[in-house]
Amino acid sequence: MLFKTPLSSPRGPAVIDMLQSVSGIILALFMWAHMFMVSSILLGNDAMYWVTKMFEGEPIFGKGYPILVSLFALFILSLIVLHAFLAMRKFPATHRQYRTLHKHLGGIRHTDSYLWYVQVITGFALFFLASVHLYQLIMHPADIGPFASSDRVWSGRMWPLYLVLLFVVELHGGIGLYRVLVKWGWFMGKDPKVGRKRLTIAKWTLTLFFLVLGLLTLAAYMKVGYEHQDRAGERYQPAAYSHLNSASQGGNH
Ligand code: HEM
């Protein structure tokens, strides 16, 4: 049976717990895929241009449809709203609950309890930070590309938000996945103590990997944006595409 404990307990809270875990897993795995896509800028402008066109469906439809990015960003935003709504019931709500929590954290010094508190703080921050990013993508889906993204990061001064968002989302996603695996007893092996230790190492290794990749990626967008600031707004035109596309799209990116 996949979800061991909840199904035997009263249905309501179990279903909510499962929905929160499932939506969290999908969002965390999306963030890993997202970081690989966005870091294509490290392979050069043409690589990032290609990934952008792929997201717009060009390999399938012969031309790009930015609306597909809006729809997908809307789906991700809805999943975040569902996940946040389900998670909010676990936030300490009263002053007394906060006091008890701090006493608890101060008293037992249990790492997983601290991780839970990091989840509450990073989750709260994501309410605000992720919405800014997603709203822009939903409303301006065609403004993605080597120059368009770099101009937004540098001339559009989005880099401070991305810097904070990067740390917040990588911590939240990494800790979240770890807690889901421990909670449902996945990949724990025969000895839970050894299993938990192994998962902890895997969690911090992956979080560190994606933070380093994210920082290098952000630095790359800032560098391209800084060098392109006098021509901010001009769209990137890959040499290979220029003669192929101009006929079919009547414009460039
Ligand atoms: C479908 C949804 C999404 C799409 C299409 C998307 C697309 C992008 C693109 C194109 C960039 C490059 C910079 C730019 O163009 O402004 C970017 C950067 C970034 N996005 Fe997203 N994003 C999505 C969802 C999210 C979510 C849900 C989060 C976090 C909660 C997130 C966090 C970030 C971060 C931290 C960066 C900066 C990455 C770096 O340079 O290290 N994104 N995203």
Q: What is the 3-state secondary structure (H, E, C) of 178-201?
A: HHHHHHHCCCCCCCHHHHHHHHHH
Residue 99 within a domain: no
In a domain, 247, yes or no: no
**pLDDT above 60: residue 248:** no
What separation in Å is there between the alpha carbon of 157 and the centre of ligand 1?
14
Q: Is residue 134 part of a domain?
A: yes
**100 has a pLDDT exceeding 90:** no
Confidence of residue 204 (pLDDT cuts 50, 70, 90): very high
CB of 140 shorter than 6 A to ligand 1: no
pTM of the model: 0.87
Whether pLDDT at 77 is above 80:
yes
Domain-embedded: residue 1: no
Q: Is residue 108 part of a domain?
A: no
Q: Rounded to whole angstroms, what are the CA distances from 192 to 174, 182, 189?
A: 19, 9, 7
Q: Is residue 6 part of a domain?
A: no
pLDDT band for 253, please (50, 70, 90 cuts): very low
User: What are the backbone dihedrals phi and psi of residue 56, each rounded to the nearest 5 degrees, phi first?
Assistant: -85, 0
Residues in the chain: 253
Q: Is residue 58 part of a domain?
A: yes
Q: For ligand 1, is residue 115 a contact (CB within 6 Å)?
A: no
CATH number where 197 lies: 1.20.1300.10
44 falls within a domain: yes
- Greatest CA separation found in the chain? 69
Print the domain residue range for 231: 14-90+117-238
- Residue 83 · residue 20 · CB < 8 Å: yes
Among 6-15, 21-30, 79-88, 168-177, the least confident range: 6-15
pLDDT at 131 over 90: yes
Instruction: Please give the tally of structural domains in the chain.
Output: 1
Residue 250: is its pLDDT beyond 80? Answer: no
pLDDT (tens digit per residue) in 147-193: 999 999 999 999 999 999 999 999 999 999 999 999 888 888 888 88
Q: Is the pLDDT of residue 5 over 80?
A: no
**51 in ligand 1 pocket by Cβ < 6 Å?**
no
Q: What is the pLDDT of residue 108?
A: 59
